[in-house]
A = this chain, B = another copy of it.
Amino acid sequence: MTYAEMSTASLRRELSAAKREYTALQDQKLSLNMARGKPSAAQLELALGVLEALKARSEFANSNGDDCRNYGLWDGLPEMKRIFAAMIDVPEEQIILGNNSSLEMMFDVISRGYTHGYNGCKPWCKLDTVKFLCPVPGYDRHFSITEYFGFEMVNIPMNADGPDMDLVESLVAEDDAIKGIWCVPKYSNPSGITYSDEVVRRFAALRPKAKDFKIMWDNAYCVHDLTDTPDRLLPIWDLAEKNGTVDQLMIFASTSKISFPGAGVAALATSDGNIQDIKKHFLTQSIGPDKLNQLRHVLFLHDINGVRALMKGHRAILEPKFTLCEDMLERNVGGLGVATWNKPNGGYFISVNVLPGCAKEVVRLCKEAGVVLTGAGATYPYGKDPEDSNIRLAPTFPPIDELETAMQVMCVSIRLATLEKLLDERKEVYGQTA
């Protein structure tokens, strides 16, 4: 029976029980963190070989004969490009390597549009209004970048197969102030959705009014499968090339959740025209990325097969955590009509939707009991979830026993918040004395 179907007396009994459970958990003085999509210590151990990869002198030269310890090679090692090319289905000639952060490469792409512009169009800093489309719920750090530059962010609902493309197409066709869209096309952060073939085809065929429109295709979880039935993302590059739309594609990836989050390698893939623009920016900005770290990765990973083998190790650690979260949600709040959640085939997050108006309270209750979740609203531009409904769970970082305790807190907090809300609503309807 769902809470909505229960009598007020039953709800009150349920509330008392939930309060007891919550207090007992509070008494444990927990200090657990499920806020960010951080790999666990066990995952970090998988890539220790990266750190020991550089040994002999001869290894400091890449295939071009460059000494990787010295200056030079603004766009990174060809060997590392090849690995990324296989990961994100893009020809290696289209790839530029950065330092340790694909977010930094995204920031720089936006910053460059702001200061210098793309495709011969006016720099965005010279325009009165710049808008960016933001499929929601989405990744808070994407939204932070466009907020930092003062862009107006437009929420786009996420359907089960990706962003609402009818809306995207109609908006970009009419309004040339719309300069781009944020996308996490595979195992989307936080919803775990992978864009359908149809959605990818429509992105590759997009004809925006703005000539300098950019699809920020953040393929952060391209090889991050967690089940025997992984999602398959249609490669967008080839389609865009056929359609002549590659200029609007900016594809990002990194090894942050393959090797080390703070010390991996990032990549950007885009059209020849954009590469020319970006090259001028990059060459002015720096003498080049850390090639020794790229070389470490090349020596450790070898090729796409090395990446795949490593990702199996990650899956072995992560799959039980995701299963645990899903099972505990099912067991504790399933059938109560208080929450829905996805069961992603990969990625780093579980997205939970509680009843409208309850998300902030759930996150607060968890915090009061020593469990830090991602802030409610963080998955929306400006931190404002209009429904106050979405909560992002990041199950990867805590060890599995801690995760189990954290999920107990989470589940009882969902029950508590919902019960309080339902009982409040009935009070309002039937009056204080009912």
A interface residues with partner B (beta carbon < 8 Å): 36, 38-39, 41, 44-45, 51-52, 54-55, 57, 60, 67-73, 99-101, 103-104, 107-108, 111, 114-116, 123, 125-126, 141, 144-145, 148-149, 256, 260-263, 280-281, 284-293
Contacts and interface: CB of A to CB of B under 8 A. Distances in A.
A285 B38 contact: no
A41 B67 contact: yes
19 contacts: A38-B70, A41-B67, A45-B57, A51-B54, A99-B99, A100-B289, A101-B285, A101-B286, A104-B286, A107-B286, A115-B115, A125-B126, A141-B284, A144-B284, A261-B287, A262-B290, A262-B291, A262-B292, A263-B293
B262 A71 contact: yes
B107 A111 contact: no
Contacts of A45: 57
Contacts of A141: 284, 287
Nearest to A281: B148
Contacts of A55: 52
Most buried by B among A39, A70, A108: A70
A133 to B, nearest CB: 19
A290 B287 contact: no
6 residue pairs, one from A and one from B, having the closest CB atoms: A263-B292, A104-B286, A107-B285, A101-B286, A125-B125, A71-B261
A70 B287 contact: no
A285 B284 CA distance: 18
Most chain B CB within 10 A, of A123, A149, A289, is at A289
Given A51-B292, A73-B262, A101-B285, 18 more contacts: A36-B71, A38-B71, A41-B67, A51-B54, A69-B260, A69-B261, A70-B260, A70-B262, A101-B287, A104-B285, A104-B286, A115-B149, A123-B125, A141-B284, A144-B284, A261-B287, A262-B290, A290-B290
A122 B149 CA distance: 14
A380 B101 CA distance: 34
In the complex, the count of this chain's copies comes to 2
A89 to B, nearest CB: 25
Given A71-B261, A111-B111, A115-B114, A287 B103 contact: yes
A292 B125 contact: no
Contacts of A261: 69-71, 287
Contacts of A287: 101, 103, 141, 261-262
A254 to B, nearest CB: 10
A36 to B, nearest CB: 7
Residue in A60, A69, A126, A262 whose Cβ sees the most chain B Cβ within 10 Å: A262
A261 B72 CA distance: 9
A69 B263 CA distance: 6
Given A69-B44, A70-B39, A99-B99, A115 B111 contact: yes
Contacts of A126: 125
A245 B107 CA distance: 31
A248 B174 CA distance: 45
A39 B67 CA distance: 11
A38 B67 CA distance: 11
A144 B286 CA distance: 11
A261 B286 CA distance: 11
Contacts of A39: 70
Contacts of A70: 38-39, 44, 260-262
Contact of A148 (B262, B284, B291): B284
A288 B51 CA distance: 19
Nearest to A98: B99
A45 B69 CA distance: 10
Contacts of A289: 100, 262
Nearest to A37: B71
